[in-house]
Structure 1
Amino acid sequence: MEITGEDTAPGTVLLVTAAPAGRSCLVDTGNVTNVLAAVAPGAWTGTAAASLVELADPIDPQTVLTRVRAAAATPGPLTVVLSGQLQRDRRQHHVHLALARTTPATVRYTALPWAWFVHELQQRRPGTTTVYADLVADAETWQHLHTAPLELGRGTHTYGLIAAPPKPRQTVQPAYTLALAQILRSGLRLAPERLHQEALQQVDTSGALVIGPARALDTAGYAPHPAAPAAGAATRAAVPDTVVPGRAAPDTAVPGPAVPGPVVPAQAPPGRDPHAEVFAAASAGRHTEAAGLAAAHEQEALRAHGPASPQAVHWIEVQAELARQAEDPARASQLWMRSAVLRLTSGQSPEHPDVTAAVDRAHHCWHHVTDPRTVHDLGAELAALRSQVTGKNGAREDVRRRLARIAPAPSG
C-alpha cells in the first residue's frame, strides 16, 4: 500500500541523531541531521500535516526521555527516526543509546536506557507508531545481541539495521538513514515496510543485523537468529519486528559511500502531486507508463526552466529510480550519469553531495549490468566521470579493474 497523505489526523516525526564525542564514537552522524530535516514531515508519517521534533547530539538522557514521552503522547501517527550507537553499562549490562557525553565508563549516567525508549512507545495505541533505527553496536553489545535480541516492543512497527563495530579509529556511516531520506526526497511515497525494503536495496547489509523483514529478493539468504526469542522480541525474517543477520546479494557491493536514492527534493506545484501518479503506475508494475509520465514531466520542466535546471534534473533522477525499479540497470546508470553531468555543467562542484550521490548511484547500477558491450560503453562514460568525481574507497580504480576484465563483444 502506498502512502498517499490523505490521513486527516496530523502526525509527529521525532528525529534523533546521537553519538559520543571523541574516541568513543563509532558512527558518523554529522551530516545526517540536515538530510533528514530536508524531508517534509508528512512524507515520514503519511499524513497531510505533521509536526517535526529534532534532537541532534543530545547530552542529557532525561531531556531525550522527555521528548520521547511528549512525542508518544500525541494522538496521531508517530514516526521515530533514530541514528546512533548502542552500548551496555558495566554494572547492570543493560543496553543504552549513547549520547554526546557517553564514555564506556559513564554509560549508566550519560546514555538513554533502551528499555526507557521502548516503554514510552508501548504506551501508544498499537499500529500507530513506526520506528526506523540505524544503529551501530560496540563490541560488547554486538556479542550480546547475538544471544539476546534487542527488545523492540509490541505494537510498534520497527525497521532498520544494527551494524557491527568498525575497526579502531574508524566510524560507520548511517547509510540506511540516508537511503530512507533520499527515497522520500525523490517524491516516492511508500508504506513503511516497502520503504524499509527499498532502503535495504541501496545499502550493504553484509554482517549487519536487519530489523524488520529482510528484502524480498534476498529473504532466502537470511538465516534465523540463533537465540530463542524473548517475550516481545521476534527473530524470524518473515515477520515484522525482527532482528536477523543480514547478507548482501552477490556482486552488489560497490567501492565508495553507500548508494543513496534520488537526491533532489520534489517541488510539486500546488494541487495534485505529479509524483503520485508516476509511482502509482510503477508500484502496479506499469513501468513503461511510469517512465513515460516522468519523461513528460522532464520535458515540461525543461521548457519552463531550462535543461540544467533543478526541476529538469529532478525528473531525470526520478526516471533513473524508475529504471532501477523496472530492473533496467543500464538505463538507470545512464540516467544517473546524465544527472551528474548536468549538475557539473550547471556549476556544482565535484565534491557537492548531490553530484557525488548521482555518480555513486550510476556506479552502483553499472555493477548490475551484465552485457559486456553495455558494460564497456557505460564504463567508459563512468570512468570519465570518475576522473572528476573520484569517490571513496577506490571507486575510480574499481571502474578501471572491471573494464580491464570485460572484453566488449564485437559490434555488428
Structure 2
Amino acid sequence: MTTKSRPRGQTGHLLLAETARAASGRRQDHSTGAHLTLLAGLPPRTFFPDTVGADVVQVDDPATPHPLLARVQHAGRHEGPTVVYVSGRLVCDHRRGDLHIALRDATRRNVRYTGLPWAWLTDALAARPAVSTLVIVDVTAEPDAWTAISRDPTAFTRGMPVWGAVTPAPARGDAVDGAAPFTRALAHTLTRGAPRLPDRITARD
C-alpha cells in the first residue's frame, strides 16, 4: 500500500470572513469579530501543516458584497492549498429565494442587493481542485434558508467540499456574544488535537 503526501514547497492561503450571526429587529447586527480573533490567533501551520507558509486574510463585517467577493475570487486563484472560513447568517431573498450571506445592516427585503449570494462564493472556488480546497462554515440560517438547506443540502454545498455547522438563527433581538460552539471547538482541536479520532475521517465516520 502506498500513500501520497501533499506536495511541499507550496504556500497555503487562509481566508477568514465574519459577519454577524443574528439580527436585531429587521436589520443585521454588526459583527463582534469574536471568530476572527480566535482563529487569526492560531499559527497558520495548524491549517497547513505541509506547506512552507501561509497567507492569512481577514474580512470583518463588510458593508457591501464586493470586497468580500474580491477576496474569495483571489482565494479561488491561489495555486496552493486553500481554506475559506465563513461565519455569518444565511438569508433567502424574498423574490427568488436564493441563499445569501447577510452583510452589515442587511434586511430580508434588501439582501438581494446588500448581501453576498452564496452561489457567488461557490462559483469563485469551483475551478479549484477539491483535494486542496476546504470551505469551513459556522453560520446561522433564517427559517426560509433553514428549510431550503434541509430540503436540498446540495443547494448549499454546490459540489464544494464544505464542512462546519449550520444552526437555526436565534430569535431577533437575542444577544449573540462570543464565539459560537463550533468555532470554539475547531480552534481547540486545531491547537490540541483530537486523539480519539481515526487517522482518516470519511463520510461514514
Residue of structure 1 in register with 2:57 after alignment: 53
Structure 1 or 2: more helix by fraction: 1
Structure 1 or 2: more strand by fraction: 2
Aligned residue among 116, 119, 124 for 1:115: 119
| Residues in 1 aligned to 2:182 and 2:101: alpha-carbon distance in whole angstroms | 18
SS of equivalent residue, structure 1 residue 59 = coil
Q: Is the 8 A contact 2:24 2:172 kept in 1?
A: no
| Residues in 2 aligned to 1:194 and 1:28: alpha-carbon distance in whole angstroms | 35
| Residues in 1 aligned to 2:198 and 2:121: alpha-carbon distance in whole angstroms | 24
**Higher RCO by CA contacts (8 Å cutoff, separation 6 or greater):** 2
SS of equivalent residue, structure 1 residue 75 = coil
Alignment of 1:57-76 (within 5 A): 57-76=61-80
Give TM-score, length-normalised by structure 2. Answer: 0.82
RMSD (CA atoms): 2.9
Residue 33 (str. 1) matches residue 36 (str. 2):
yes
How far apart are residue 22 of structure 1 and its match? 4.1
Q: Is the 8 A contact 1:27 1:84 kept in 2?
A: no
Per-residue CA deviation, residues 36-85 of structure 1 (Å, 9 max, x unaligned), is: 11011221123230000100111111111111001110100001111111
Q: How many residues align?
A: 193
Per-residue CA deviation, residues 243-279 of structure 1 (Å, 9 max, x unaligned), is: xxxxxxxxxxxxxxxxxxxxxxxxxxxxxxxxxxxxx
Query: Equivalent pairs: percent with the same residue?
Result: 30
Residue 103 (str. 1) matches residue 107 (str. 2):
yes
Residue 181 (str. 1) matches residue 158 (str. 2):
no
| Residues in 2 aligned to 1:142 and 1:50: alpha-carbon distance in whole angstroms | 34
Aligned residue among 123, 134, 137 for 2:138: 134
Residue of structure 2 in register with 1:164 after alignment: 168
| Residues in 1 aligned to 2:104 and 2:142: alpha-carbon distance in whole angstroms | 15
Alignment of 1:10-409 (within 5 A): 10-19=11-20, 22-23=24-25, 24-25=27-28, 29-46=32-49, 47-149=51-153, 150-154=155-159, 156-171=160-175, 174-186=180-192, 188=193, 213=203, 238=204
Give TM-score, length-normalised by structure 1. Answer: 0.43
| Residues in 2 aligned to 1:130 and 1:189: alpha-carbon distance in whole angstroms | 19
Amino acid at match of 1:152: T
Per-residue CA deviation, residues 274-307 of structure 1 (Å, 9 max, x unaligned), is: xxxxxxxxxxxxxxxxxxxxxxxxxxxxxxxxxx
How far apart are residue 171 of structure 1 and its match? 4.6
Structure ID, larger Rg: 1
SS of equivalent residue, structure 1 residue 143 = helix
Amino acid at match of 2:44: P
In structure 1, stretches of 5+ residues that fail to align are: 198-211, 214-237, 240-412
Bigger mean CA deviation after superposition, 97-106 or 85-94: 97-106
| Residues in 2 aligned to 1:107 and 1:124: alpha-carbon distance in whole angstroms | 27
In structure 2, stretches of 5+ residues that fail to align are: none
